[in-house]
Structure 1
Amino acid sequence: MTAIPDEIATLAHAGEQMIERLRKRAFLPDVRKALNLRFGIAEAAQLLGCSTNRIRMAEDDGRLPLPGQTETGRRLGYTIEELQTMRTVLGASPARSETDSPAVIAVQNFKGGVGKSTVTVHLAHYCAIQGYRVLVVDCDSQATTTTLFGFNPHFNISRHETLYPYLSIEPTQTDLNYAVKSTPWPNIDLIPSNLELFDVEYELAATGGDGQSILATRFRKLKQGLADIGRNYDIILLDPPPALGTISLAVMQSANALLVPLAATIPDFCSTVQFLSMMDQVIEQLTSAGFSIDYQFVRLVCSKFTSNDPAHAMVREIMTKTFGSALLPTPILESAEISHAAIRMMSVYELDKAIGSAKTHKRCRANLDEVMSQVEVLIKEMWGRPAVGDLSLALSQA
Structure 2
Amino acid sequence: MAGSDPIHINTRIRENAQSLASALEQHMLKSFAPDARKQLRVFSAGEAADLLGISASFLRKLHFEERIPDVATSAGGRRSYSAEDLLTIRHHLEANAKARGTYLKGRRPGTDGEPGDKVQVLSFLNFKGGSGKTTSAIHAAQRFALKGYRVLAVDIDPQASLTTLFGYQPEYDFLHAGSIYDAIRYEDPLPFSSIIQKTYFPGLDLAPGGLILQEFEHETPTALRNNIQPPFYARMAAALQEVENDYDIIVFDCPPQLGYLTMSALCASTGVLITVVPNMLDVASMSQFLQMSADLLDVVSNAGARMEFDFLRFLINRYEPSDGPQQQVVAFLRQLFGSEVMVAPMLKSTAISDAGLTQQTIYEVERSAFHRSTYDRAMESLNAVNDEIEALLQQAWGR
Q: Say if 1:105 and 1:256, in contact at 8 Å, map to a contact too.
A: yes
Instruction: For 1:76, give the aligned amino acid.
Output: R
Show the counterpart of 1:104: 121
Alpha-carbon deviation of 1:346? 0.7
2:202 to 186, 201, 217: 186
Aligned mate of 1:220, from 234, 244, 255: 234
Distance across 1 between alignment mates of 2:83 and 2:297: 39
Paired positions, count: 380
**What residue number does 2:80 align with?**
77
* Unaligned segments of structure 2, at least 5 residues: 95-102, 110-115
Shift in Å at residue 179 of structure 1?
A: 0.8
In the other structure, the counterpart of 1:389 is none
- Once the two structures are TM-superposed, the CA of residue 28 in structure 1 deviates from its matched residue by 2.6
Of 82, 86, 89, the match for 1:86: 89
- 1:146 matched residue in structure 2: 163
| d(CA) in 1 for partners of 2:377, 2:56 | 25
Residue 337 of structure 2 aligns with an amino acid whose one-letter code is F
Shift of 1:77: 1.5
Secondary structure at the aligned position of 2:170 is classed as: coil
Instruction: Measure the CA separation in 1 of the matches of 2:323 and 2:36.
Output: 40
Question: Could you tell me which residue of structure 1 aligns to residue 273 of structure 2?
Answer: 259
Q: Residue 95 of structure 1 is aligned with which of 106, 129, 146?
A: 106
- Decide whether the 8 Å contact of 2:220 with 2:232 is kept in 1: no
- C-alpha distance in 1 between matches for 2:370 and 2:73: 28
Question: Partner letter of residue 36 of structure 2?
Answer: V
Tell me how far 1:51 sits from its aligned partner: 4.8
Which amino acid in the other structure matches residue 335 of structure 1? Answer: S
Give the aligned partner of residue 44 of structure 1.
48
CA gap 1:208/1:248 in 2 versus in 1, 3 angstroms:
closer
> How far apart are 1:341 and its partner, in Å?
0.5
Question: What aligned pairs does 1:349-388 form with structure 2 within 5 A after superposition?
Answer: 349-384=363-398
Question: Given that residues 176 and 226 in structure 1 are in contact (C-alpha distance below 8 angstroms), is that contact kept between their aligned partners in structure 2?
Answer: yes
After the TM superposition, which of the residue ranges 269-278 and 181-190 deviates more from structure 2? 269-278
What stretches of structure 1 of length at least 5 have no aligned partner? 386-398
CA contact (8 A) 2:279 2:329 kept: yes
Answer with 264-273 or 152-161: which moved more. 152-161
Which of these residues, 13, 20, 24, is aligned with residue 19 of structure 1?
A: 24
What is the CA deviation profile of residues 341-361 of structure 1, one whole-angstrom value per residue up to 9, with x for unaligned ones?
110101111112243311111
**CA–CA distance in 1 between the matches of 2:317 and 2:178?**
31
Kindly state the Cα deviation for residue 16 of structure 1 after the two structures are TM-superposed: 1.6
Contact 1:68 1:76 in 2 (8 A): yes
Matched, 1:3 2:8: yes
For 1:385-396, list aligned pairs within 5 A.
none
For residue 384 of structure 1, give the secondary structure of its aligned residue in structure 2: coil
- What is the alpha-carbon distance in structure 2 between the residues aligned to residue 138 and residue 262 of structure 1? 20
The alpha-carbon deviation at position 142 of structure 1 amounts to 0.5
Q: 1:84 and 1:196 mapped to 2: Cα distance?
A: 35
* Alpha-carbon spacing, 1:5–1:52, altered in 2? closer, same or farther (3 Å): closer
Question: Secondary structure at the residue paired with 1:236?
Answer: strand
Offset of residue 132 of structure 1: 1.1
> What SS does the aligned partner of 1:345 have?
coil
Corresponding residue of 1:66:
70
Checking the alignment, whether the CA contact within 8 Å between 1:84 and 1:131 is kept in structure 2 is yes
The percent of aligned pairs where both chains have the same amino acid is 30
Q: Does 1:277 align with 2:277?
A: no
1:117-138: CA deviation from partner (whole Å, max 9, x where unpaired): 0100111111122111110000
Query: C-alpha distance in 1, partners of 2:327/2:207?
Result: 37
**Displacement after TM superposition at 1:196 (Å):** 1.5
Q: Could you state the TM-score of these two structures normalised by the residue count of structure 2?
A: 0.90
Contact 2:258 2:293 in 1 (8 A): no
Q: Specify the code of the residue in structure 1 equivalent to 2:378.
A: C
**Paired position in structure 2 for 1:388:** none
Q: Does 1:116 align with 2:133?
A: yes
Partner of 1:329: 343
Task: Please give the secondary structure, in 1, of the residue aligned with 2:177.
Answer: helix
Q: Does the 8 A contact of 2:49 with 2:59 survive in 1?
A: yes
Q: 1:245 offset after TM fit, Å?
A: 1.3
Does the 8 A contact of 2:119 with 2:249 survive in 1?
yes
The alignment partner of 1:104 has SS state of: strand
What residue is the counterpart of 1:391 in the other structure? none
| Alpha-carbon distance in structure 2 between the residues aligned to 1:365 and 1:172 | 40
CA distance in 2, matches of 1:153, 1:80: 26
1:288-345 deviation line (CA, Å, top 9, x unaligned): 1111111100000110111111111111111111111100012111110011011010
Q: Where does structure 1 differ by over 6 angstroms across 4 or more consecutive aligned residues?
A: none
Q: Assess, with a 3 A threshold, how the Cα gap between structure 1 residues 207 and 234 changes in structure 2: closer, same or farther.
A: closer
Match in the other structure for 1:195: 211
CA contact under 8 A between 2:184 and 2:239: conserved in structure 1? no
CA contact (8 A) 1:23 1:31 kept: no
- Indicate if the aligned counterparts of 1:138 and 1:240 stay in contact, CA closer than 8 A: yes
CA distance in 2, matches of 1:380, 1:233: 15
Preserved CA contact (<8 Å) 1:25 1:31: no
State the 1:242 CA deviation.
1.1
